[in-house]
Amino acid sequence: MTGWIVETFIASTLLMLLVLVSRGPVRRAFGPQMAYALWAMPVLRLLMPPLPGDWTLTSLIAPFVREADVPGIVTGIIKPEALPATIDRSAVTIVEIGSGSHPATAALVAPTYSASGPSLLILAIGLWALGALAFLAYHLIAHRRHCAKLLRAARIDRTIAQGKVRVIETDAVHGPLAFGVMRKYVAFPCDFNERYDEQERDLALAHELGHHVRGDLIANWVALIVLALHWFNPVAWRAFRAFRADQEMACDALVLAGRAQALRHAYGRAIVKSAHGGAVSAACHLHTINEVKGRLRMLSKTHKNSPARLAAGLVGTTALGLAALGLTASGTQAAETIKVKVEKVTGIKLGQDVPAPPAPPAPASPQAVPAVPEAPEAPEGPVKVRTYSYTVTGDGKDKKDGKRVTKIVMVHADGSKTEKDMPDIDELRARVPEVRNSKCTDTTDGKPVVENFERNGKKIMIICSNRIEKITVQAEKAAFEAKRVGMRSATIGLQVARRSIESQPDLSPEQRAKALKGIDEAIAELEKGGTNADK
């Protein structure tokens, strides 16, 4: 069991490192949702039981586990009569506590080896368990107190989504916030209507509702449990922050899916206005500032992944997860112990080759069966012949328009006939318009790019190439101007957020410096993008 615990922690740490390395390329190639799904790998690895067989990770770690799991360490304050017989007496100091007729005697034992003492590995596991329980207890209590504070300070309380989600406004938050698993809440600051315009309010609400719909609050608690198990592991702390960033970007993509591109600027402004340094681990914030630059950069990418590309990403991500779980699977002595017990109960060696069953007796030769005479050939039945006769006639008779009459005569099997006039080829050609590509008169009254008219009984369609080019140039200018205005609005929003953070007294100097650094980097990124766009 001890070996499996050590293997599980090492394997889950390796998977966290794998996700940290691959999340960026996966997000750029297949979208933020696929990068967010990668974080299921460490969780699934923690849930995997020991598997039978000699697995690669087990064979690498087993010698170190056996070496660490050697009993022999004793230390602390112990009763003299409870000291092990094999302990080194030079490491023991006997002291008397108290005075009078009943003094207490104790042995102070420095760390020393003893054959009957507990192993260092067991002591380390005990320390780990205490740390994990303390971590979980702290976050449970802190989250419960924070939620109670939000509800006590709530001023406006209403329900949405068929009464499944309660929306509150409170001074206890600085930006939009989703919390609650069984009872779902969305909290907004009291100045929400003044700081955000109508589009920004709708997008912020959609973002927080998206967290509830996707089950992100449950995922946060699962991530906190994993972090509690890895409380001593710096890789896990970095992975937790990356997981929360990927969660926010995946929710951003969900909100913007199917919406107009112009709303991306309003959504970016809502993110910038909500920027703040503080966060509650189990809740979902729109206002965490650590990943503002990455989220704004994601919003600037407007390409859509095709269904084939998404399917390829899903297959690739699944294959990567299965391969990683297989390479880090554990095969410990638990499977071997079960095998020994089954062999003892059944009396069958499970690893032994099963003997081949005795060959069955040869069957008696069957009696000869007389040959069956060949069946006579079946008589030919009446065949129903269906004959089609196509006769094209030109009998010289003139119609009123002076054209020769052409008919199709179809003779059926029952002798009946069907006659139809053959359409004239010249008439068919006259109905098809002639398509030309030419330049038309350049106007500003919004005339169509295709003109139709008839000349000498012939329909003519002219595609105006100069009008199409003009419309294309105007559309490119409008798109360029919209992008410039959007980046300017985002820059102004960042500057407003920067002044707001500078004036907040509840931030420590370290928090304020970190927040301002992130905003300054985002402003520089936007200004660089605006300069490139002007060029």
Tell me the pLDDT tens digit for each residue of 418-427.
777 766 666 7
When pLDDT is averaged across residues 381-393 and rounded to a whole number, the result is 48
- Across all residues in the chain, what is the average pLDDT? 76
When pLDDT is averaged across residues 89-116 and rounded to a whole number, the result is 68
CA neighbor of 224 nearest in space, from 281, 270, 175, 278: 281
- Residue 209 contacts residue 217 (beta carbons within 8 Å): no
Q: In the prediction, which pLDDT does 346 show?
A: 47
Q: In the prediction, which pLDDT does 347 show?
A: 54
pTM of the predicted structure, to 2 decimals: 0.57
CB atoms within 10 A of CB 171: 12
- Encode 452-474: b = buried (16+ Cβ within 10 Å), e = exposed: eeeeeeeeeebebeebeeeeeee
d(CA 213, CA 250): 13
Residue spans of the domains in the chain: they are 1-70+309-345, 80-114, 136-304, 429-535
Confidence of residue 202 (pLDDT cuts 50, 70, 90): very high
**Residue 391, pLDDT above cutoff 70:** no
Is the C-alpha dihedral spanning 108, 110, 111, 115 positive or negative? negative
d(CA 26, CA 410): 65
Of 470 and 381, the one with more pLDDT: 470
Confidence of residue 446 (pLDDT cuts 50, 70, 90): low
Residues 6+ apart with CB under 8 A from 490: 265, 268, 269, 272, 296, 526
| Residue 499 exposure: Cα atoms within 13 Å on the Cβ side | 5
Of 243 and 155, the one with more pLDDT: 243
**Residue 398, pLDDT above cutoff 50:** no
d(CA 52, CA 330): 8
CA neighbor of 451 nearest in space, from 467, 466, 432, 464: 464
**What percent of the chain lies above the pLDDT cut of 90?**
23
d(CA 157, CA 355): 75
Of 32 and 326, the one with more pLDDT: 32
Type of residue at 243: F
Q: In the prediction, which pLDDT does 381 show?
A: 53
When pLDDT is averaged across residues 13-29 and rounded to a whole number, the result is 93
User: Mean pLDDT lowest for which of 45-54, 107-116, 166-175, 349-358?
Assistant: 349-358
Tell me the pLDDT tens digit for each residue of 340-364.
544 554 455 544 544 554 555 555 5
Question: Which CA distances in Å does 35 have to 204, 249, 299, 434, 511?
Answer: 22, 9, 16, 53, 28
Q: In the prediction, which pLDDT does 434 show?
A: 76
Q: In the prediction, which pLDDT does 405 show?
A: 53
Tell me the pLDDT tens digit for each residue of 449-501.
777 777 777 788 788 887 788 888 887 887 777 777 777 878 887 887 888 78
- Residue 331 contacts residue 58 (beta carbons within 8 Å): yes
Tell me the pLDDT tens digit for each residue of 295-339.
777 776 666 677 787 788 788 888 888 887 777 766 544 444 444
Of 406 and 296, the one with more pLDDT: 296
Question: Which CA distances in Å does 431 have to 136, 256, 428, 438?
Answer: 80, 47, 5, 21
Q: In the prediction, which pLDDT does 356 show?
A: 52
Looking only at Cα atoms, what is the longest distance across the chain? 149
Q: In the prediction, which pLDDT does 450 show?
A: 78
Residues 6+ apart with CB under 8 A from 167: 156, 157, 158, 159, 160, 185, 186, 187, 188, 205
Of 483 and 276, the one with more pLDDT: 483
When pLDDT is averaged across residues 14-21 and rounded to a whole number, the result is 94
Confidence of residue 142 (pLDDT cuts 50, 70, 90): very high
When pLDDT is averaged across residues 145-156 and rounded to a whole number, the result is 88
Of 302 and 87, the one with more pLDDT: 87
Show the tokens assigned to 234.
């710096």
Cα angle 306, 312, 318; round to 5: 135
CB atoms within 10 A of CB 88: 13
- Residue 158 contacts residue 167 (beta carbons within 8 Å): yes
d(CA 415, CA 413): 5
Of 163 and 114, the one with more pLDDT: 163
**Residue 399, pLDDT above cutoff 50:** no
Across 188-192, 367-371, 436-440, 522-526, the highest mean pLDDT is recorded for 188-192
Q: In the prediction, which pLDDT does 108 show?
A: 75
Strands, sheet with 92-97, edge to edge from the N-terminal-most edge strand: 73-78, 104-113, 92-97
When pLDDT is averaged across residues 231-259 and rounded to a whole number, the result is 92
Q: H helices of 230-332, where?
A: 234-256, 263-273, 292-299, 307-327
Q: In the prediction, which pLDDT does 387 show?
A: 46
Q: In the prediction, which pLDDT does 518 show?
A: 81
d(CA 412, CA 388): 6
Is the C-alpha dihedral spanning 198, 202, 208, 209 positive or negative? positive
Report DSSP letters for 13-69, one per residue.
HHHHHHHHHHHHHHHHHH-HHHHHHTTHHHHHHHHPPP-SS--HHHHHHHHHHHHH-
d(CA 419, CA 140): 89
**What percent of the chain lies above the pLDDT cut of 70?**
65
Tell me the pLDDT tens digit for each residue of 49-84.
776 555 555 556 555 555 555 556 666 676 777 676
When pLDDT is averaged across residues 397-413 and rounded to a whole number, the result is 59
Of 127 and 452, the one with more pLDDT: 127
Residues 6+ apart with CB under 8 A from 246: 23, 27, 32, 35, 36, 38, 39
Report DSSP letters for 415-442, one per residue.
S-EEEEEPPPHHHHHHHSPEEEEE----
Tell me the pLDDT tens digit for each residue of 262-272.
788 888 888 88
